[in-house]
Chains A and B, each alone.
Chain A
Amino acid sequence: DAKTTQPTSMDCAEGRAANLPCNHSTISGNEYVYWYRQIHSQGPQYIIHGLKNNETNEMASLIITEDRKSSTLILPHATLRDTAVYYCIVRVGNSGYALNFGKGTSLLVTP
């Protein structure tokens, strides 16, 4: 799986958009970008994934650059409950494969 690089920590004011970057310059053509988050030692939670097109769901938006070497997860209106560690993971799209979690970005949403 391609390696990812994320900032260690970020802050965001409640109600503002949180933009979490991820670099994955060695991504292969068949690898997807996945985002998960972990709220205070709970089980990781799936957020969104994409291959090359931008994606949006009820939780977030995922913007992938045209060269696919980086991406940004956007939480449009961050709330205090979005405080968590966010993981960007790159891997092939088939079911059954391991998720290799890195250290992620610790997002703190402040009042």
Chain B
Amino acid sequence: EPEVTQTPSHQVTQMGQEVILRCVPISNHLYFYWYRQILGQKVEFLVSFYNNEISEKSEIFDDQFSVERPDGSNFTLKIRSTKLEDSAMYFCASSDRDKYEQYFGPGTRLTVT
């Protein structure tokens, strides 16, 4: 069964550094998403992406964040200058045009020290 994959599974970085989290969505899906979950808190929507542009974003997704689909398979989330409060599990998801369910990857645990 096709699945969303994410790399790395765990990323440790120092405050102020840039990080790129990578995702490979399900191959025929057209909509891509990033969510995050701070330890012990609820899953929060960050951004959705369709047709090579952002279709929706939350208040969390400020200028420090950017997304890109650099080729036909990868979908990335970049955090320009990480802060301690960016420490969280980041989940990538994808969905098909005619099906409403979103399929999530296993997540990348980001630890900012």
Contacts and interface: CB of A to CB of B under 8 A. Distances in A.
Interface of A: 32, 34, 38, 41-46, 49, 87, 93-104
Nearest to B57: A98
Contact of A98 (B37, B58, B91, B106): B58
Contacts, number: 64
B107 A41 contact: yes
Contacts of B99: 95
Contacts of B89: 41
Given A44-B93, A101-B45, 9 more contacts: A46-B101, A95-B95, A95-B100, A96-B48, A96-B55, A96-B56, A98-B33, A101-B35, A101-B43
B102 interface: yes
Nearest to B50: A96
Contacts of B105: 43
Interface in B35-89: 35, 37, 42-45, 48, 50, 55-56, 58, 89
A98 B56 contact: yes
Contacts of B91: 43-44
20 contacts: A32-B100, A34-B101, A41-B37, A41-B89, A43-B4, A43-B104, A44-B93, A46-B101, A87-B43, A93-B100, A95-B31, A95-B98, A98-B33, A98-B45, A98-B58, A99-B35, A99-B43, A101-B42, A101-B45, A103-B42
Nearest to A43: B104
A96 B95 contact: yes
A73 to B, nearest CB: 14
Given A43-B4, A44-B43, A103-B42, A98 B48 contact: yes
A5 B93 CA distance: 25
B45 A100 contact: yes
